Amino acid sequence: MKITPLDIRRKDFLIRFRGYDKKEVKEFLEIIARELEEMIKEKDELLNKISVLEEIAATYQKQEKLLQETLMTVQKQAENLKNNAQKEAENIVQKAKLEAKEILMKTQKEVDKLRGELNTLNSKKKVFVANLKGLIEGLNNFIKEWEKENERENKEGS
């Protein structure tokens, strides 16, 4: 037996001694009736959506069939293009190999040049570091002598 919102609203309960509050029961039944109405509306909307979606699915199935036929034609054309592209690619690869050899030779010359410059810079670095160490040692000796002299002067002055 299906219960409608109207059935809920019209339902009357027997009144007994110390029974439920009639107003409270009616309010509760009204809430339930509203909830049921909303669910019924939602169900109807969902059924309508299902119907629309089924129509859309049928349209998509027709389009899919057409796309499959088109795909077969495109695949045949793609195969032809692929063969032509492969021949062209082989020509491009040959050209690229020649250019790569030239670039490699130029790069090797540049690497040799840079190695020479690096060796020169390393030699200059070694000379600079040696000079810097000598300078630091000289300054260190100077400071030690200066401190000794300063101590002597302080002792003599005391």
- pLDDT for the residue 29: 86
Q: Which two tokens stand for residue 99?
A: 């250019």
Return d(Cα 119, Cα 113) in angstroms, integer: 10
pTM over 0.85: no
Q: What are phi and psi of 4, to 5 degrees?
A: -100, 165
- pLDDT for the residue 21: 76
List, run by run, the mean pLDDT of 10-residue segments along the chain (158 residues): 78 74 84 91 96 96 95 95 94 95 96 95 95 95 93 80
Q: Which two tokens stand for residue 145?
A: 């002598």
- pLDDT for the residue 9: 80
- pLDDT for the residue 1: 61
**Those residues with Cβ within 8 angstroms of residue 125's Cβ, 6 or more apart along the chain or in another chain:** none
Residue 17 DSSP class: T
- pLDDT for the residue 84: 94
- pLDDT for the residue 25: 82
- pLDDT for the residue 118: 95
- pLDDT for the residue 156: 81
Contact call for residues 52 and 34 (beta carbons, < 8 A): no
